[in-house]
A and B are shown apart, each in its own frame.
Chain A
């Protein structure tokens, strides 16, 4: 089958028109669990495991469209992607997916009730690290403190935060204390890529958040359930490429 015959067949019977391309805004994203218990992470790799594969740090958690829209290991497949923004994300996994029954007096207490609390570790985590992104094994971005430099630019607006204490001796943090550590949620603060970076189809992508000054902080037993049982909360780190998907017309 020569390329000419293939081209002719494709034009007649193909489902895509490769002579015309369509540009739409889109994201390529990958959210990974952080290894944060007795063993901590020296590095977190993004865009390595596609949808359907297990999370590298949690072998029993399989990635769905909520975690990534990558369909192929370490590449964006048959689409061009014009990268215009790099966003990072770090937060606790939604309560229902923590894997621990946290009870109903948790949100305003659980992450901050203990000294060296989970929230404090999250803040430490977001203050460190170096993000390195390579395309075809060539280094393109090396960004220190990426959660500060490349914030998500989205989040929620907390106007007032409650605090709850039960008086249990297991609450080692001061009473009344509850706070929330989070990166910049303003859309105007995102890390813009200028000029834009085109990522061609099938280009190999390596993106890793490294912790060269020591491993990521440990969250071992840093949170407290309603029943006053310490546990290690699950953390989710994310890397989002915002930009334009360039794909053949149909």
Chain B
């Protein structure tokens, strides 16, 4: 019996429903998902697999309404961005490191710039698939798909010289405080052209992997999985298409 046929549901919806499916609204929208990059490195990290409200996951981490899909809205994907977030960069710690007996041993661990120059930012591959079909495979994604302009600036107004002259085997010298970010130029954004329309309830998967081997965090004196975790994120920017109410 066709009791629940589409035409009956449509008629009932038009008479009694709270949503008008004959008219749609498009707004600019970003879906984002942040996960912790473990200090020891990892082979694979999955994004958009959790929703806010799950254990340890807040709206700071993701705004996804449903794991692995955008729920009851369509989404027209226009760009893919990665992001790197560390709450406390402890820039002071870099200069303090030089005071450790034995000189500058260990300073690499004191600044996240080390990871930008020589760590996980220089490796990895990002895969995005809808259903089981790949739609993007991006090498070195933190560089190839940077954010559109949000990393903080840290301008170097003066250099910080700890000791005047390095003495062999006794003292060491550190000059400057390192600061590196992802590029923040609009023309560096990874535009998805032509756009990809991800339909409501369509399952998709985004993963960052390091199949050639773990890349541990170099700045492990700053990054702490429990108290100061390194969060990495994926941001989908585009148009949210939803029925008018």
Chain A positions within 8 Å of B, measured between CB atoms, are 23-27, 29, 31, 61, 64-67, 69, 91-97, 103-109, 152-169, 175-176, 178, 180, 185-188, 226, 238, 240, 250
Within the assembled complex, what's the spacing in Å between the Cα atoms of A138 and B29? Answer: 46
Within the assembled complex, what's the spacing in Å between the Cα atoms of A157 and B117? Answer: 10
Within the assembled complex, what's the spacing in Å between the Cα atoms of A241 and B167? Answer: 50
Cβ-closest chain A residue relative to B181: A157
Proximity string of chain B (156-186) to chain A, C-beta cutoff 8 Å, 1 when within and 0 when not: 1000000000111111111111111111110
Known contacts A154-B144, A156-B180, A167-B171; decide if A162 and B111 are in contact (CB<8 Å): yes
B51 CB–A CB distance under 8 Å: no
Within the assembled complex, what's the spacing in Å between the Cα atoms of A109 and B123? Answer: 21
How far apart are A15's CB and chain B's nearest CB, in angstroms?
A: 11
Q: List 19 A-B contacts (CB under 8 A).
A: A24-B136, A31-B139, A61-B212, A66-B211, A91-B122, A96-B214, A97-B123, A97-B213, A97-B215, A104-B218, A108-B178, A156-B121, A158-B116, A160-B155, A164-B107, A165-B172, A166-B104, A175-B166, A175-B173
Which residues of chain B in 90-104 are interfacial with respect to chain A, using CB atoms and an 8 Å cutoff? 94, 103-104
Are A156 and B143 interface neighbours, CB within 8 A? Answer: yes
Within the assembled complex, what's the spacing in Å between the Cα atoms of A67 and B139? Answer: 8
How far apart are B98's CB and chain A's nearest CB, in angstroms?
A: 8
Residues of B within 8 A of A104 (CB): 105-109, 218
B side interface size, CB within 8 A: 76
Are A107 and B118 interface neighbours, CB within 8 A? Answer: yes
Residues of A within 8 A of B153 (CB): 159
B81 CB–A CB distance under 8 Å: no
A-B contact count (CB 8 A): 200
How far apart are B158's CB and chain A's nearest CB, in angstroms?
A: 10
Neighbour of B123 across the interface among A94, A158, A166, A176, CB < 8 A: A94
Q: Is the interface of A mostly helix, strand, loop or mixed?
A: loop
Within the assembled complex, what's the spacing in Å between the Cα atoms of A118 and B59? Answer: 45
Within the assembled complex, what's the spacing in Å between the Cα atoms of A20 and B169? Answer: 70
Known contacts A96-B119, A186-B185, A186-B187; decide if A25 and B192 are in contact (CB<8 Å): yes
Within the assembled complex, what's the spacing in Å between the Cα atoms of A185 and B182? Answer: 11
Within the assembled complex, what's the spacing in Å between the Cα atoms of A164 and B193? Answer: 44
Are B187 and A162 interface neighbours, CB within 8 A? Answer: no
Residues of B within 8 A of A65 (CB): 125, 127, 137, 209, 211
Known contacts A96-B214, A108-B108, A187-B185; decide if A160 and B178 are in contact (CB<8 Å): yes
Cβ-closest chain A residue relative to B156: A160
